[in-house]
Chains A and B, each alone.
Chain A
């Protein structure tokens, strides 16, 4: 009996191969986008872990200075007291053609991690003695090109990092003898004086606490995850629609099977098994696809993470079985969620329930009321969170509530609009057109909801990026006001440089900084010279009285927006700079693209507090026409390589490039989501067209040509898509506002003004209609070409 029932059930798919293809494609795509994003995240997390494991730090406690750097005296004191600790220096530095993280270790005390055991053989003397020797991943070596010391390929070293001797790193980072952190080695002697006595100002960090990098990049990964989830949801809409329609179409089969004595339970088990089989098939295909998607996106993601956070993420993807298993499980869960409703409906349905189109519509009329209630409830959640919510997670919940609420409202609003059209319609055909669109709305509403979500996400993210871009470009103009930027390689060269530039420029503005911890956050403190460049151009978003005078006088400091928002420090508040003292906040400035806190301190106060800060980088104000000549002179007279200087245009170009790269991934995911939505619409229309013969045949018999009916069907698809696109606009703008005013603030620490780009909307609307046209064209064409025999069949009884 089971075999016979199974063949009757599966026969449906043999006669509707397109529907089956859609179901599988939808599920495969959903799985692909979701698992693709997960692969990206897993790769990045693995890279962070590898970075921690390299020096064995993942398992060991460490000592850090809240003020930023550890004095060598502390290190010596600890060693003398018997503590077994190993110093590490870490910092970002330009090396050859790129920027890397220099990791300086003391090979004699370094703990036994891969760095101590797995690195290729090298001459220990060459490692210790200047110019030194570096270990780096082959990828990093390729990017660096020419380095001041030889580089040896070591795949164990995370991409973007270079492992050198501690002294070499200190020299390159201009740290003097200062140390970034001390690793507490295993097997300490029994009786050592407690740390709290020896070095009370140092802080012990135990392993297992999240690494800085992981914490820093969390928001980025959360962003990706949110997008992956959105794509998955959109994909599930397709599956849900396809499964629902297949159930609807097979109702006569169910009825016959049950009338012939197949128990309901057996029937449901068979259907569930069928869906799980589809989940397995499509999930596997989705995994392959997701792997390809992730592989294609990873270079950009890696570049973003490295550029923005200095996170060592490689550009190549590794295969992880646990990732595949999770992806497959998601596909299975997805298909069960999508099919569960239909199964539940089947369980409740009386055996002889007729397959009536309007019964369906009525049942979904109840569903619509439920949906309406859901939409209102979610809108209330969103509203509450807008005023009460705090934190990134609340931000994302707000986002989800907003989007879901809007999606649920789509069918309701469309139904209202279609009834309006019906009431305003004149001729009989126009009247039928609106009534028929409204009646078929429930079958299309899932696809339309998916389309709305994709469009809104596009508008929202697009507006966010464009607003950001416009603000960023304006901000760059202010921030990069100097005509020339030069960096010396050594302190001596720096001095030479300043002496050379002094008589030949309008002003030399030092770009000197010290790493520190301010208000509990990793920060950079910059020494700032009092100059019109700052007074005229600096992008202040909040200021107290006479901010620049107070800065110059050493009374106040300027802090960046990230620090101001995260620590809630505003003009009038005071902030403690470790080693420098307590200062009033004189002003807050915007500082986009920088994940860390930043403080501007008057140059005199800065030099007094951080006498050992490297004095290498400078911004030079001068006649812009003379910049090329000056760059040539610096090369000839001081032997400064061209890579150590850039004019304003170059500096801006580099910043913009980093900016653009940051959003490559977002854009790609956006486009993928939109394509999935178009596919959802296509799937629904194709499936629907199979059921529409009975609705259209009477009209044909009454004298409407097939071509006209097809044109009307096409028009209906376009009208629905256009209305959906119009609905997506306000939702997208609300989304953009949430992204700009809530998510960005929480994730990056800056708030951006919303700007409107109607041109982009028109372009997107055009693409949406084109996608809808593509989705509607095939079913319409099929209808226009359908043989009269197919239509007549409707009128012949018992068929």
Chain B
């Protein structure tokens, strides 16, 4: 199902590795950014034919920005910016010009480690979340500076990840407090639209929308993958947009958390990254009235915990994974 076509060390060589936290693809599918405990961000080029064993070549290393591990990295949707968030409580924005990345902004304000920083679909907003339990929304103003638009603190514990809706100004946050929260822009301010407590038993690690944005999957510490659907598909206002859980699947043969989930926008295949070093694939089948999460199997492994998986937005057969074993692996999906 999933064939490993490349293995790359984020830093150093085999005996000198440090954890890779995540990878993020540029919308054009030809560039990949990675980040890790070595306090660096690396930018890679996808070289070769995507259908025929392409490979990654490291083009740039940015290692002088953060003072502690870099936890997340993301491209803006127009590809102009790269944003990284770090345990040093700062978020750094880089501008991309002809393959060169220059630091243009350092956003400070979070009280502790920033776990995730992502641009909204329209690139109008940047959302960040942190162990300080808060979720911040930033906007770019006239002087190319980013100013805080809203600061919300609906979680009671560390917020692990924030995920934007593929089309709307809707954000989901996942937290150590076992809940997820939905946020919407009401024209003036960001408000919490819905709170779903007890989503998982323990930390909710990650979530991913499908391509249309009416379904959401979450994964957590309890090695369960859960499906949520939007109840009123028509209405998109804060007080009427509600989501509810319709299916869950517990991965039985493991005691380890599922750390990351990614829903392929083209073919609908869902990939998960597990603390048990395994990458699994799932799909949703709605042959009956209620949707079922179908486990397609363990399709790939690393030597240690897999922290993150990401589908290539342009070449839907390619998947990248990041692991504690210090490597980034490139996979080819063969259905």
Q: Is B a genuine binding partner of A? A: no
B-side interface residues toward A, CB under 8 Å? Answer: none
A-side interface residues toward B, CB under 8 Å? Answer: none
